[in-house]
Structure 1
């Protein structure tokens, strides 16, 4: 009878060990895994920002070359405009790839929904819910940013098409430049909103980690979601205010167009690093 009692105790102990092993990672650990996998999926986003800035600088140089050419060099203007459009196409591909990485990261992040209620304390649950709201706000801001960028590229492309037209009128060029400036103003607002949302999210994520018992060591920027870099043409193609009189000669009109369509990308070449 005594031996039978010992056997039951051993079985209970073994079952307890098995149950402990089957519990798996805690809710806090699961949150951490989802959050950091989302960061990993966004790394491509950060790399693409550098490519975008490089391409924008190339396009800026081409634009300035076009503005320096007289109408008699229309063949060269057309060639440079085509090269600029080719760069715009590359930028379109990059922002699409960028969006795919953001979408993948958001999809991974959304896995925390099934974990939040299992977190060990009410404080952690509250912080996790705040974190979820911050990510939703950030993703919505990115959607606005992506839309604004696409619209700006579309209007840039139309500008280069117009520059190849030998019969281009000053008022038409000015109207297009105005549309482009409006697009880049909207892009800048969307970019600032996205970067602010990113900073808020990163701050809340750090607060959440500090409230857990995971003892996470933060190393540089590795833990952070990515911000949108302030690109070289985020200010659009601003015109200088001039009081030039309209000339009937096409050559003089071309010179007036160059003076009134100077691109002000250089004012926005600094970049915002993710925290």
Structure 2
């Protein structure tokens, strides 16, 4: 039976970089807003770390279930319930993380009015490009969220199947294939999200330079 499954270790995520500085320029409001977005996304980063720990713990239980075969039904049922409980915790973390990203996106969207007020056309064009880069990042995160949530649902279905006395091996294989498929998509989206984050970080630093802001990035 093909029972190897994919574990995404999903939140190996590149964070937004923060800047610090004091200035008296027309771009100050944009700076303050973008750094506020970084602060809001700190909640996102905290949930990433928690998710990784939960994934590792759940994987250990999953491996233990497989080591039992289908011999010790009582222990398999107990471990399956435990794994399902961790999957539920992962979903709770995911929702908290998503809330942070939604709040950050709402704050970031307020930049549009500031961008319109920029007098320098080249600076405005660069700011618009930076804005579009970040919005693409948020679109990727929304897709990442949906796929990962679907993966959790598939995981919980699998743990319920482990508890069935007459479950067929073919059905388990089919379910695990579904899980592997969705998590491969998650891993791919995660890579795209990280690349988009890097692109935004670079665009933001360049904007600060073009605007003449004396900012040190962290």
The equivalences for 1:47-66 within 5 A come to 47-66=46-65
In our comparison, the structure showing a higher alpha carbon Rg is 1
Q: CA, structure 1 residues 26+111, in 2 after alignment: closer, same or farther (shift >3 Å)? A: farther
Q: CA deviation at 1:26?
A: 4.3
Q: CA deviation at 1:192?
A: 1.2
Alignment match, 1:29 = 28
For residues 254-275 of structure 1, the C-alpha deviation after alignment (integer angstroms, 9 at most, x for no partner) is: xxxxxxxxxxxxxxxxxxxxxx
Q: CA deviation at 1:68?
A: 1.1
Alignment match, 2:118 = 119
Alignment match, 1:216 = 215
Question: TM-score normalized by structure 1?
Answer: 0.69
Contact 1:27 1:115 in 2 (8 A): no
Give distance in 2, aligned partners of 1:176 and 1:70. Answer: 17
CA RMSD of aligned residues (A): 1.1
Question: Are residues 1:134 and 2:133 paired?
Answer: yes
Contact 1:27 1:120 in 2 (8 A): no
For residues 121-168 of structure 1, the C-alpha deviation after alignment (integer angstroms, 9 at most, x for no partner) is: 112101110011001100100011001100110101111111111111
Alignment match, 1:39 = 38
Q: How many residues align?
A: 195
Which range is displaced more, 153-162 or 185-194? 185-194
Give distance in 2, aligned partners of 1:153 and 1:170. Answer: 21
Question: TM-score normalized by structure 2?
Answer: 0.87
Higher relative contact order (CA 8 A, sep 6+): 2
Give distance in 1, aligned partners of 2:215 and 2:197. Answer: 20
SS of equivalent residue, structure 1 residue 167: coil
Give distance in 2, aligned partners of 1:168 and 1:216. Answer: 61
Give the gaps of 5 or more residues in structure 2. 1-23
For residues 75-120 of structure 1, the C-alpha deviation after alignment (integer angstroms, 9 at most, x for no partner) is: 0100000000000111001010000000111111111111112124
Give the gaps of 5 or more residues in structure 1. 1-24, 221-275
Give distance in 2, aligned partners of 1:170 and 1:57. Answer: 25
Give distance in 2, aligned partners of 1:118 and 1:208. Answer: 15
The equivalences for 1:11-30 within 5 A come to 26-30=25-29
List structure 1 segments (4+ residues) > 6 angstroms apart after TM superposition: none
